[in-house]
Structure 1
Amino acid sequence: MKNLIYIIPILFGMISCNEQVKQPKEWQFEKTIALDGINPIGITADGNDIFLSDGDHNRVLKVNTDGEILFEMEGFDRPMHLDFGKADLQITDKMTTSMLQERALFVPEYGRDSIAVMRDNKMDYLVINDSLDAPAGISVYENEIAIADFYTNRILYYNGSQWISFGKEGKALGDFYYPTDVQITADKIFVADAYNNRGQVFDKTGKVLTEFGQDQNFNAATGIYVSDSEIFLTDFENDRVLVFGMDYQLKQVLESGIDKPTDLMVIEDVLYITNYRNGEMIRYALKPIMEK
């Protein structure tokens, strides 16, 4: 009987720990961060350093988590959704051509039909044996690159050895109507299919796998971000962000503080969303539901 008395508290302790681990969480609004004179379109991070593209002022800025400008890079032509990474591809400064040897910031220039590559404040350009027409988004994953080419309604994808292109204008599954953002994961390519008002998912041969959000009344799905467990899609005209599970089912709708969102990213358990019109960065945190 004594042994039984000792075992019961231990079992209750184990159950309590399991309940804490399984406690459901959701994204909760924390604050609005004003950005001084910045109209952000794209957002990315290198570690804890945040970078924003300001297409209205043709620049890219590094800011801290309070939105203070740490430095800025000028000379772009309508920079869009940007990303950090490294891939074994050629770059050029218009005079000489070399291979990219280190991690860099990739900036699609919508107005120049090019991909700028920034290292130590030096601007080079990605060498592509193809023509771009208003590139709107880029994703770099290990030795892979995907570019959302807005006016050609396609994704241009480098798989580590060669470039392939997939997509065409249309509304059917696998078609695009102005893709604006893209993200590569370990086995898939996710696309913000802006004016088809949905997200789409492809394998790395360009075969379409599924669509999502098509029944959620989107009005311009402009930015996409994929974490380990969730997919985020901005709804620009409806002033909201929709969060989907990896089963493509809707989990949560975020609206507090959101006004013309263009892009977003997650750093640990913090979600940053760019508000284009008001020049803001909105912060959400992943917290247990019971804390609401």
Structure 2
Amino acid sequence: MNKWIYIIPIFFGMVSCNENDDQPKEWLFEKVVALDGINPIGIAADGNDIFLSDGDHNRVLKVNSDGDIMFEMDGFDRPMHIDFGKADMQITDKMKTSMLKERALFVPEYGRDSIAVMRDNKMDYLILNDSLDAPAGISVYDDEIAIADFYTNRILYYNGSEWMSFGKEGNAMGDFYYPTDVQITEDKIYVADAYNNRGQVFDKTGKVLAQFGQDENLNAATGIYVSENEIFLTDFENDRVIVFGMDYQVKQVLETSIDKPTDLIVIDNMLLITNYRNGEMVRYTLQPIASEEK
């Protein structure tokens, strides 16, 4: 009988936790973090470490959550939307190896038509049997890599064994008009189709599956981020971020303190958005939706 005295409270505690986990949540504005002298374009994270590309000053910086610069790397030519991943693809032979297992920072250089690979504060370049023309975004997922190639209106995709290309200039589904950002997930590839003012979704053969945001009056969809449950798309000229569910329906529109957003990332329950115009990082947090009092 005494056993039940302990089991029952634990059971109800578990129910309470599950109910809390299932409670609807929304993104709420928390604060603006000033970035002194930084004009951020791309944002990426390695664990809790935050990295920003500053295309106007040809550098990539590591900052803390308060926007303080921890260190910076220069020598880039217009770095754009960046990402972290395993450096297990071929790079130039300056590193004397073609298969690197350590994590590295991949930096598309819009002005140099190349992909820089940063490891241990050393810069090298991704080997491609293809020509880039203003790469604007990159995504690395396990052994896969995708590059948004701005002026060729395509995605260059490495599936772990070979490279392929998909997309062309146009406004039909599957076409692009200056893609600026891309993200690979377990089974899909998401693209910010900037000047078609939408996001697009492809399978890993390059077949288009869906478009979204095309009815939301977007004006330059520059950055995309896909979390486990949501898709985020920046609306650069309209100073907002639109949050979609995995069904591509709008869940929330974020506008507070957002000014010319270029990119964004989710770290745990924190959403960080880069404000290009004012040199800022805007922080939102995921909070339970307050229930109305009856």
Q: TM-score range by the shorter chain?
A: over 0.9
Structure 2 alignment gaps of length 5 or more: 1-7
Say if 1:219 and 1:237, in contact at 8 Å, map to a contact too. yes
The separation in 2 between residues aligned to 1:257 and 1:134, in whole angstroms, is 30
CA deviations over 1:112-154 (Å, ceiling 9, x no partner): 0000000111000000000000000000000000000000000
Residue matched to 2:134: 134
Amino acid across the alignment from 1:288: P
The separation in 2 between residues aligned to 1:226 and 1:78, in whole angstroms, is 24
Amino acid across the alignment from 1:91: I
The separation in 2 between residues aligned to 1:125 and 1:265, in whole angstroms, is 25
Corresponding residue SS for 1:129: coil
Over 3 Å counting, the alpha-carbon distance change for 1:256 and 1:130 in structure 2 is same
Over 3 Å counting, the alpha-carbon distance change for 1:288 and 1:133 in structure 2 is same
The separation in 2 between residues aligned to 1:145 and 1:100, in whole angstroms, is 15
Amino acid across the alignment from 2:52: L
The separation in 2 between residues aligned to 1:214 and 1:136, in whole angstroms, is 21
The separation in 2 between residues aligned to 1:12 and 1:128, in whole angstroms, is 57
Alpha-carbon shift at residue 189 of structure 1 (Å): 0.1
Residue matched to 1:280: 280
Amino acid across the alignment from 2:149: D
User: Greater CA deviation, 139-148 or 21-30?
Assistant: 21-30
Runs of 4+ aligned residues of structure 1 deviating over 4 Å after TM superposition are: 8-18, 93-97
Over 3 Å counting, the alpha-carbon distance change for 1:236 and 1:291 in structure 2 is farther
- 1:268 matched to 2:268: yes
Amino acid across the alignment from 1:248: Y
The separation in 2 between residues aligned to 1:124 and 1:12, in whole angstroms, is 56
Residue matched to 2:91: 91
Residue matched to 2:162: 162
Over 3 Å counting, the alpha-carbon distance change for 1:272 and 1:188 in structure 2 is same
1:1-292 matches, within 5 Å, as 18-92=18-92, 98-290=98-290
CA deviations over 1:213-263 (Å, ceiling 9, x no partner): 000000000000000000000000000000000011000000001000000
Amino acid across the alignment from 2:269: D
User: Greater CA deviation, 14-23 or 54-63?
Assistant: 14-23
Corresponding residue SS for 1:56: helix
The separation in 1 between residues aligned to 2:157 and 2:34, in whole angstroms, is 35
Alpha-carbon shift at residue 100 of structure 1 (Å): 2.8
User: Greater CA deviation, 228-237 or 16-25?
Assistant: 16-25
Say if 1:87 and 1:140, in contact at 8 Å, map to a contact too. no
User: What TM-score, normalized by structure 2, do the two folds share?
Assistant: 0.92
Amino acid across the alignment from 1:179: P
The separation in 1 between residues aligned to 2:9 and 2:95, in whole angstroms, is 74
Say if 1:85 and 1:142, in contact at 8 Å, map to a contact too. yes
Q: Percent identity?
A: 83
User: What TM-score, normalized by structure 1, do the two folds share?
Assistant: 0.93
Alpha-carbon shift at residue 26 of structure 1 (Å): 0.1
Amino acid across the alignment from 2:54: D
Say if 2:87 and 2:104, in contact at 8 Å, map to a contact too. no
Structure 1 alignment gaps of length 5 or more: 1-7
Alpha-carbon shift at residue 21 of structure 1 (Å): 3.1
User: Greater CA deviation, 255-264 or 83-92?
Assistant: 83-92
Over 3 Å counting, the alpha-carbon distance change for 1:20 and 1:236 in structure 2 is same
CA deviations over 1:159-185 (Å, ceiling 9, x no partner): 000000000000000000000000000
Alpha-carbon shift at residue 23 of structure 1 (Å): 1.6
The separation in 1 between residues aligned to 2:113 and 2:281, in whole angstroms, is 27
CA deviations over 1:26-51 (Å, ceiling 9, x no partner): 00000000000000000000000000
Say if 2:272 and 2:281, in contact at 8 Å, map to a contact too. yes
Say if 1:139 and 1:147, in contact at 8 Å, map to a contact too. yes
Alpha-carbon shift at residue 19 of structure 1 (Å): 3.8
The separation in 1 between residues aligned to 2:24 and 2:249, in whole angstroms, is 16
The total of aligned residue pairs comes to 285
The separation in 2 between residues aligned to 1:181 and 1:94, in whole angstroms, is 29
Amino acid across the alignment from 1:111: G
